[in-house]
Amino acid sequence: MGYHPGAEDDGIYLPAVQTDLHPQLFPHDAAFFQLQMRTSVFDTWMAHFVQCTGIPVVWAELLWQWIAIVLILSACWSIVCQIFEEAAARWAGLAMVAAMFTLPVAGTALFILDQYLHPRALATALILLGVSRILSEKAWQAVPLAVLAFMLHPLMGVLGISFCCVLTATAREPVGARLRTLKGMVPQEAAPVMAVIPFAWILDRPSATWLEALQSRHWFRVYQWHWYEWLGAIAPLLLFWLVYYIARRRGETKLAHLSLAVFLYGSFQQAVAMIMLGPPSLIAFSTLEPMRYLHLVYVFMALVGGAYLGRYILKTKAWRWALFLVLANGGMLLAQRQLFPASAHLELPTLKPANPWLQAFDWIKHNTPEDAYFALDPNYMAIDGEDFHSFRALAERSQLADSIKDTSMVTKVPELGPAWKLQVEAQEGWSHFQLADFERRKAQFGVDWVLVAYPQPAGLACNWHNQAVSVCQIP
């Protein structure tokens, strides 16, 4: 799966942790990541961990990424051991989950597990541990796990709690009673979804800038999904209904309970998503991303699918196991190298970056004032060779709003919309900027540094460069 700290969503979480540790950082743009963290304890918890242990942030992030992986696999092992008896099925299920960590979840812009520390990974681990406790008929032990998952990642926590409620109901009553109970639970199940709405704006009239930002995220608009995204959403639910039918006939009670729970949970959440994302009057609810219920479904699909592969195909044949492991892990490795072609597969703290953009971020971090305010191409994350690494996360300096990650922030925090739009529009035509353009941005926003393509425009005072970019001051 690789390891890429500071990439993609880590452009929100890592700066938030750094700001908790060093409040003097990001004096100009902290709102672009701090406002979203109002609903999570992840950043403050990580900052306290760093302060108490003395472990540097880069090592603490790597440590907890490893812990999240271990917890997820441990929970999956506990689950698969309860629903399958054959050793080949158990090991194949675990191996499939491990190989599929970076499997894209249909239409949601999610992986099962990200290539950097994300609160969703820890929340997923806690929910899976809760599922294993419910299957062990110790449902009360799942309660604190679910609460902690909610505190780390409210959306995934609510979805996990919803699944745990469904699983508890399916595991304790006959099928007919289960369906009647779950039907009666719909209003109560809908309540937690509403409980995670952190801002009153969700019920207000959407602003023009919010709608503009929303248009850049097609996965928010389920009725505009491609056919293969719909297939990726519906097919797993049908497969779990089939697994439930087969497991019930074979007398595999716990597998039947889990499969029925996945089917009912997915069907209910799909119905909720279709209602929430349908009428234009409810468009503000799209920012809750209800289709992310599929994340948990995909975890169970990998686990149960791998177990069936082990039971019926791999069995105890060494050559089949070797072929399976090579194809599953090799295919995912190839996909990851295509996603991060210009970066080391494992961006460990001990390695000096070979990526020219990361070299520039590192130089900026160690050689510019903490209150430096940068401007750079608003689409820099999508430039060939940048590999979607965040400037804020890795350079630890303020920047004008960008057109990629900050756009996502506006969909979650509409009050950022006017500032985001003003700053992004001011950077239009960036590739043709000359000294006078930079000076105007300095007068307008106070930016005093720029990161530009090498060779830089004439008149800039440049302190450092490599073959791709230059770090310069605006006179």
The more confident residue out of 24 and 290 is: 24
Reported confidence tier of residue 162, pLDDT bands at 50, 70, 90: very high
- The rounded percent of the chain whose pLDDT value lies above 90 is 72
Is residue 61 within 8 Å of 117, Cβ to Cβ?
yes
Q: Are 13 and 42 in contact (CB under 8 A)?
A: yes
Under the banding of pLDDT at 50, 70 and 90, the label for residue 204 is low
Look over the chain and give the mean of its residue pLDDT values, rounded to a whole number.
88
Predicted confidence band of residue 217 (pLDDT cuts 50, 70, 90): low
- Would you state the pLDDT for residue 202? 47
Stretch 264-282: mean pLDDT = 81
**pLDDT at residue 184 greater than cutoff 80:** no
Rounded CA-CA distance 95/24 in Å is 45
Residue found under tokens 């992310």: 292
Q: What is the pTM of this model?
A: 0.88
Helix (H, G, I), strand (E, B) or coil at 393: helix
pLDDT digit string (tens) for 84-136?
999 999 999 999 999 999 999 988 889 999 999 999 999 999 999 999 999 99
pLDDT at 470: 95
Instruction: For residue range 7-52, list pLDDT tens digits in order.
Output: 999 999 999 999 999 999 999 999 888 888 888 999 999 999 999 9
Residue 344 CA to residue 175 CA, distance in Å, equals 51
- In the prediction, which pLDDT does 186 show? 41
Question: Nearest to residue 42, comparing CAs of 113, 117, 109?
Answer: 117
DSSP of 219-255, one letter per residue?
A: GG-GGG--HHHHHHHHHHHHHHHHHHHHHHHHT-HHH
Q: Which of 458, 451, 397 is nearest to 427 (CA)?
A: 451
Contacts of 378 (CB under 8 A, 6+ apart): 400, 401, 402, 403, 404, 424, 427, 428, 430
Is residue 180's pLDDT more than 80? no
Residues 348-401: tens digit of each pLDDT:
999 999 999 999 999 999 999 999 999 999 999 999 999 999 999 999 999 999
Evaluate the CA torsion angle 22, 26, 27, 33 in order and state its sign.
Answer: negative
Q: pLDDT tier at 178 (50, 70, 90 boundaries)? A: very low
- Looking at the predicted structure, is the pLDDT value of residue 192 above 70? no
Please tell me the distance from the alpha carbon of residue 419 to that of residue 74, in angstroms, as a whole number.
45
Q: 325 falls in which pLDDT band (50, 70, 90)?
A: very high
